[in-house]
Chains A and B, each alone.
Chain A
Amino acid sequence: MTEQEFDRAAVRYLDMVYRIALNALRRPADAEDAAQTVMLRLWQSGEGFQGEDHLRHWLARVTVNVCRDMARSAWHRRVVSLERTTEASFSTREQGDLFRAVMDLPGKYRLPLYLYYYEGYAVAEVGELLGLKPSTVQTRLARGREKLKTMLEEE
């Protein structure tokens, strides 16, 4: 990968990598660490990509795997105040509430929801990325939505 190709990939996909990591790990500081690791792997990979879809899918897959490794032996950051400073700000209060509700969902629902609803992956593709059966993905999407609805109604 040339420097120019890497720069272009960073411009296009760093937000996606960070958002997947944020959904996987929940803590912005951990998500940034994961995103850095993923982009370093991209730079060092020497991988030749057969188009944008291949690159995007590779990044999504590597991000999921890096986050999995981090969650396995993650160093858990405890102090909330610093993390809040790197948390997104939203244009409406409702969006801020929705973000907090999403982040309060159990981990196993956040990532399927994000990959399906935001990144637009099909159920089978989400399953392939997360190592889950399509039926499990369907169940998690349904339960995740249900829980999110309940949480937002309770606020």
Chain B
Amino acid sequence: MDENYKAMFDQVHASDRLREEVSQMKMQKQTPRRRFPKAALIAAVLLVVLAGSAIASVGMPGTLRGWFAREWEETTGAPMTEEQLAIIDDLTQPVGVSDTQEGVTVTVDSITVGNSTVWLLLKFSGEYPVEKSLRYHFRGIDMTLEPDPDQVDTPGGYGFDFPYAAVAEDGVLTMLVRFTIDLAGQTSLLDSSRQATLLLEDLVCNDLEKRGDEDVTLAEGSWTLTFPVEPGAEQAVRSLGEIQAPAMDLSTRETKTIALYDVQISATDITYVRSAEDQAWEPLRCALVLSDGTAVEQGSGTSRFWDEAQTQWGSTWYWQVPVDLEQVTAVRFGDTEIPLSDG
């Protein structure tokens, strides 16, 4: 195997484009190196049996409803209203599917499904170290949806964020995973029922205060969880058609006003298109303004061509929490506020 394997990898090289980009890096400023103390991770950790035991809680909510309410209060400064909670309830569904590997059981407790996003609340039981300062995650994660909601033949993608992973109020190690997918404005996860398969590889952790330190493997294994993703109650979508928004060329920091087309606002995201000529011009940070004056900012986002002719550069930005569109009075780009007409 040795010789064939070596001969094969001898022919795998970094591309000329990558070499060119690396060569250009010298234009960037060098910064002094930061040094982190070496992690003394395992020594600080107690091995406990989680299932059914009382563990010091770090106070995070153990439900999606609770987590969204807390997140809302932290980001807007105001408690979540009953109307907002009702939207969360409409979009959230219990799941209760589990898989056990190497003594660790992972359960998809519940999910909140939006236009192009799914929040997954995962619960754990089994034997592994529990410590407040540890950051838990998986070495690998992937999720497929069947039927595939992405119907567009241009480069696009999907990704995962981990808003939190900690021992929740109920004493159970809990992980919130957010799946987002760029559907090029063509389809929605709320269109029809789908089957999701979540693949998780190796439960690991590292120390919150020592970012960059090595992961420590807590449980090796591959968890496979298959569950339905059902569209919740039908949600309103606000269509703005064409608007003018301030935008910045990130390489020169120049600003100008550009046209955004097909602007659609859902409870979980905003999508819009700009012409390919304006691709370098990134609209300023977007937020929804509510009737009580609070603002819900965009979180992560993604862009891709929405058509194979590559004339329409479309973007999707995800709200940090689902929003009741009945309460939205305007959309804001930078300091420019665009009022929404009723209905």
Contact = CB atoms under 8 A, between A and B. Distances in A.
Interface stretch (B72-80, B114-122, B135-143, B261-269): B135-143
A22 B13 CA distance: 10
A89 B1 contact: no
Contacts of A72: 137-139, 141, 160, 162
Given A73-B159, A108-B201, A40 B28 contact: yes
Interface in A80-111: 82, 86, 88-91, 94-95, 98-99, 102, 106-108
Given A6-B26, A43-B28, A88 B13 contact: yes
Contacts of A131: 214-217
B87 to A, nearest CB: 26
A65 B7 contact: no
Contact of B4 (A35, A82, A95): A95
B6 interface: yes
Interface residues of B, number: 53
B18 A14 contact: yes
Interface stretch (B49-57, B150-158, B241-249, B329-337): B150-158
Nearest to A38: B22
A68 interface: yes
A56 interface: no
Question: Which secondary structure characterizes the binding site on chain B?
Answer: mixed
A90 B12 CA distance: 8
Interface in A106-155: 106-108, 113-114, 117-118, 131-132, 145, 148-149
B63 to A, nearest CB: 23
A65 B2 CA distance: 26
Given A15-B14, A36-B22, A79-B154, A94 B28 contact: no
A99 B8 contact: yes
Contacts of A6: 25-26
A75 B142 CA distance: 10
A4 to B, nearest CB: 10
Interface string A59-81: 00000010010011111111100
Contacts of B141: 71-72
Interface residues of A, number: 55
A8 to B, nearest CB: 12
Contacts of A39: 22, 25
Contact of A76 (B28, B154, B157, B202): B157
B14 A65 contact: no
Given A39-B25, A71-B140, A117 B6 contact: yes
A38 to B, nearest CB: 9
B289 to A, nearest CB: 29
Q: Looking at B14, B150, B159, B302, which has the most chain A CB atoms within 10 Å of its CB?
A: B14
Contacts of A65: 212, 214
Contact of A95 (B2, B8, B138, B216): B8
Contact of A75 (B23, B157, B215): B157
A75 B201 contact: no
B146 to A, nearest CB: 14
B252 to A, nearest CB: 21
21 contacts: A3-B26, A14-B14, A14-B18, A15-B13, A35-B18, A40-B25, A44-B28, A44-B31, A46-B30, A46-B33, A65-B212, A71-B139, A72-B139, A77-B155, A88-B11, A89-B11, A98-B8, A113-B5, A117-B5, A117-B6, A118-B6
